[in-house]
Amino acid sequence: MAEVVVWVDHAGGVVAKPSLELLTVARRLGDPVAVVAGEGAAGAAGVLGEHGAVRVLVSEAPEYGEFLVVPKVDALAAAVGAVGVPVAVLVSSGGEGREIAARLAVRTGSGIVTDAVDVEVGADGGPVAVQSVFAASFTTRSRVTRGVPVIVVKPNAAPVEAAPAAGAVENLDVVFSPAAVCARVVERAGREASGRPELTEAAVVVSGGRGVGGAENFAVVEALADALGAAVGASRAAVDAGWYPHSHQVGQTGKSVSPQLYIASGISGAIQHRAGMQTSKTIVAINKDPEAPIFDLVDYGVIGDLHTVLPQLTDDINHRKN
Amino acid sequence: MTLRIVVCVKYVPDAAGERRFAGDGTVDREGVDGLLSELDEYAVEQALRIAEGSDGEVDVTVLTVGPEDAREAVSKGLRMGADRGVHVEDGGVHGSDVMGTSLVLAAAVEKAGFDLVLCGMASTDGAMGVLPAVLAERLGVPQVTLLSEVSVGGGAVSGRRDGDRASERVEAPLPAVVSVTDQSGEARYPSFKGIMAAKKKPVVEWDLDDLGLDADGVGLAGAFTEVVEAVERPARTKGEIVTDEGDGGLKVAAFLAGRKFI
């Protein structure tokens, strides 16, 4: 069976959820070959096998952590070479994932499609990428016409499914290119773990906007998020006002999310925000302004003050859970 | 030695307007207002700040590839304070995907001459966010991308890259390709002086011949991807909207429970 190369994003061997989703997508197209590079990479092999990886190509070298992006491109290119002609290369969306995929596409003379919300099997057995464009007003299906299709897939595009496979671990030989050791990471500070899921990966996102009214008031948004096991998002207005960190910004210049449930509180729904959340499956909004454009998108909306609606909602959820 | 900065900018349809596909699967730009991509303004701003903060000579070129209208993106950069402009316009470029566009940009950047290429993190229309990395790969120079802070000195560029897991300080020798995020610093408005001065600044126009490129390698003919279907999504059916009468939270909870979220 044809092989599909899957780039695995991990932290010290702990595989990111979107990479496991990629294995679900990959199995539709062929036999998944997982590529995992960096410190602790070998530790990821077990879980990758449990989720369908037939082969796991592992490369551990300090270069992956010491330099920006390109060593990982070298590793992925080596993996593609080791496979021969894969039916596709799949990479998860995210700043680094997109860049790795892009450089690989140039090197292999291949076309690239980014931000796929789903991948289907085309008539020729090759991948057809489904995208949601123009603030989700159009759904497109695209095909790569040259080279090995390189497809960057958004989180939540497919469920994580157990599918035990051989997971045969192989050492991947990588020779770093001169370009790989140019852009050096001179200092790294890990982000503070909030204990909440990653914004882009979360199945539920609760966001606050201008209507929250201040940094300290984000506590009501966080309390609801915790009751739902959700990630916290913020509109650009809230971020620009300094009420919440930029890393949580949802929208065109922030992060694009497509969770199962998106709760917008105190967010009017400017086009730039909508572009970042409109592919959410279910949308709920709470806003004082009945004219807020966000209400055009919602499955359920409450015209009201988030400072009373959110705590009541949070209490009721906690009450139902107990 | 003059430090040569080339800022790559894109003229994009206004996101607030209605956007559609044309019959050939490309974006229909007829009747849609365009503007300099907001995210590229941050790149122009950083180029100007580097120039202002430098002891030596710095030359800032604003470069765009696109149809006649796209010249406005260059003009905006000049009004903000860039020194010169390059507009690559050629019918053969129409329909280019990122591979074709990057080929044209790479050739134009090399022809213009550069020590530093500055880009926005993504365009506000295609929003792929891959062009800076592709450009670095094509030019064979380091990429230092997604920077929220950038500085140049001692023949190197350095900055802060905020990723999902970590915030990193990164540096690379010049020449290099840099992209900056919307956190890098508010872009300035053109001053009256800047607007007047921009009228006298040189803008060169190049076509594919000038860049030594073959039309087969770019445009629709040279595309590496194909849109096989574009379907307008039916407008979301508007859901139920209620007014809070003291039980708004309970109503949302009942809705969420009905959808099995709680």
Beta-ladder partners of A140: A131, B230
Percent of chain A at pLDDT above 90?
83
| Bigger pLDDT: A24 vs A276 | A24
Question: For residue B84, what are the contacts with CB-CB under 8 A and spacing of at least 6?
Answer: B59, B60, B61, B62, B78, B201, B202, B203, B204
Name residues whose C-beta falls within 8 Å of residue B31's C-beta, 6 or more positions apart in sequence. none
Considering only CB atoms, A146 lies closest to which of B183, B224, B238, namely B224
Mean predicted confidence (pLDDT) in B157-179: 93
CB contact under 8 A, B164 and A317: no
Partner residue opposite B165 with nearest CB, options A11, A141, A299? A11
Partner-chain residue, chosen from B99, B128, B240, that has the shortest CB–CB distance to A114: B128
B192 Cα to chain A: minimum distance (Å): 27
User: What pLDDT, in 10s, does the model give residues A153-204?
Assistant: 998 899 999 999 999 999 999 999 998 999 999 999 987 777 899 898 899 9
| pLDDT for residue B31 | 62
Give the pairing of strands B27-28 and A282-287. Answer: unpaired
Higher-confidence position of A281 and B126:
A281
What would the pLDDT profile of A49-68 be if each residue is shown by its tens digit?
A: 999 999 999 999 999 999 99
Buried b / exposed e over A1-12, threshold 16 CB at 10 Å, is eebbbbbbbbee
Residues B97-156: tens digit of each pLDDT: 889 999 999 999 999 999 999 999 988 777 788 999 999 999 999 999 999 999 999 999
User: Residue A30: left (phi > 0), alpha (psi -120 to 50), or beta?
Assistant: left
Q: What percent of chain A has pLDDT over 70?
A: 99
Domain locations along chain B: 3-222
How confident is the prediction for chain A on average, in pLDDT? 94
Q: For residue B38, which residues of chain A lie inside 8 Å, CB to CB?
A: 253
What is residue B23's three-state secondary structure?
A: coil
Question: Would you call the peptide bond into A62 cis, given omega within 30 degrees of 0 as the criterion?
Answer: no
**Does the distance separating the beta carbons of B163 and A111 come in below 8 Å?**
no
Cα angle for residues A298, A303, A305 (degrees, 5° grid) = 120
- Helices B131-139 & B98-112, crossing angle to 10 degrees? 50
A137/B232 CB distance under 8 A: yes
The pLDDT of A10-34, averaged and rounded, is 96
CA distance B259 to chain A (A): 9
Give the mean model confidence (pLDDT) for residues B186-192.
95
pLDDT on residue A120? 97
Q: pLDDT band for position B16 (50/70/90)?
A: low
Residues above pLDDT 90, as percent of chain B: 73
The whole-chain average pLDDT of chain B stands at 91
Contact list, A111 vs chain B (CB under 8 Å): 97, 99, 223-225
Mean pLDDT of A218-242: 96
Identify the DSSP state of B142. Answer: -
Question: Which three-class secondary structure string do you get for chain A?
Answer: CCEEEEECCEECCEECHHHHHHHHHHHHHCEEEEEEECCCHHHHHHHHHHCCCCEEEEECCCHHHHECCHHHHHHHHHHHHHHCCCCEEEEECCHHHHHHHHHHHHHCCCCEEEEEEEEEECCCCCEEEEEEECCCCEEEEEEECCCCCEEEECCCCCCCCCCCCCCEEEECCCCCCHHHHCCEEEEEEECCCCCCCCCCCCCEEEEECHHHCCCCCHHHHHHHHHHHCCEEEECHHHHHCCCCCHHHEECCCCECCCCCEEEEECCCCCHHHHHHHCCCCEEEEEECCCCCHHHHCCCEEEECCHHHHHHHHHHHHHHHHC
Q: How far is A38 from chain B (nearest CA, A)?
A: 15
pLDDT score of B225 more than 70: yes
Q: Is B89 helix (H, G, I), strand (E, B) or coil?
A: coil
Two structure tokens written together for B108: 């134009």
Distance between CA atoms of residues A116 and A154, nearest Å: 6
Distance CA A187, CA B181 (A): 19
Model pLDDT for residues A77-119, shown as the tens digit of each residue: 999 999 999 999 999 998 899 999 999 999 999 999 999 999 9
Q: What distance in Å separates the CA atoms of residue A53 and residue A5, rounded to the nearest whole number?
A: 10
Neighbouring C-alpha atoms within 13 Å toward the C-beta of B203: 25
To the nearest 10°, the Cα dihedral for B185, B189, B190, B191? -110
Half-sphere exposure of B211 (CA within 13 A, CB side): 30
Greater pLDDT, B60 or A258: B60
Q: How many CB atoms lie within 10 A of CB A290?
A: 11
B19 pLDDT above the threshold of 70: no
Contact A55, A168 (CB under 8 A): yes
pLDDT tier for residue A223 given thresholds of 50, 70 and 90: very high
Closest CB to B170 among A115, A140, A185:
A185
The yes-or-no verdict on residue A208 having pLDDT over 80 is yes
Beta partners for residue A127, in sequence order: A121
Lookup result for tokens 């500070």: A189
The mean pLDDT of B201-227, rounded to a whole number, is 92
Asked whether the beta carbons of residue A302 and residue B244 sit closer than 8 angstroms, the reply is: yes
Residues in chain A closer than 8 A to B231 (CB atoms): 138-140
CATH class of B3-222: alpha beta
* pLDDT confidence of residue A254: 85
Q: Which residue of B lies nearest to A304 if distances are taken between CA atoms?
A: B244
The yes-or-no verdict on residue A296 having pLDDT over 80 is yes
What local confidence, expressed as pLDDT, does residue B29 receive?
Answer: 62
Distance CA B25, CA B11 (A): 19
pTM: 0.91
For testing contact with chain B, the best of A19, A118, A309 (most B CBs within 10 A): A309
Q: State residue A135's pLDDT score.
A: 66
User: What would the two tokens of residue B101 be?
Assistant: 């566009």
Contacts of A138 in chain B (CB under 8 A): 21, 230-233
Structure tokens at B53: 């903060």
Q: How many residue pairs from chains A and B have C-beta atoms closer than 8 A?
A: 258
**Are A112 and B130 inside 8 Å of each other by CB?**
yes
Binary contact (B240, A282; C-beta < 8 A)? no
**Residue B144 contacts residue B171 (beta carbons within 8 Å):** yes
In this model, does residue A271 exceed pLDDT 90?
no
Q: What are the pLDDT digits (tens) for B171-180?
A: 999 999 999 9
Question: What is the distance of C-alpha A254 from the center of its chain?
Answer: 13
Inspect the interface and report whether the beta carbons of A144 and B146 lie closer than 8 Å: no
Residues of B in contact with A300 (CB under 8 A): 239-241, 252, 255
What is the reported pLDDT for B94? 87
| DSSP per-residue string spanning B182-194 | TTS-PPPPPPHHH
- Residue A146: pLDDT above 70? yes
Selected residue with higher pLDDT from A170 and B14: A170
Taking the C-alpha atoms of residue A100 and residue B143, their distance in angstroms, rounded to an integer, is 11
CA distance B140 to A110: 18
Q: Please report the pLDDT score of residue B235 as a whole number.
A: 72
Predicted pLDDT at A42: 96
Q: What is the mean pLDDT of residues B225-233?
A: 89
Chain B neighbors of A241, CB-CB under 8 A: none
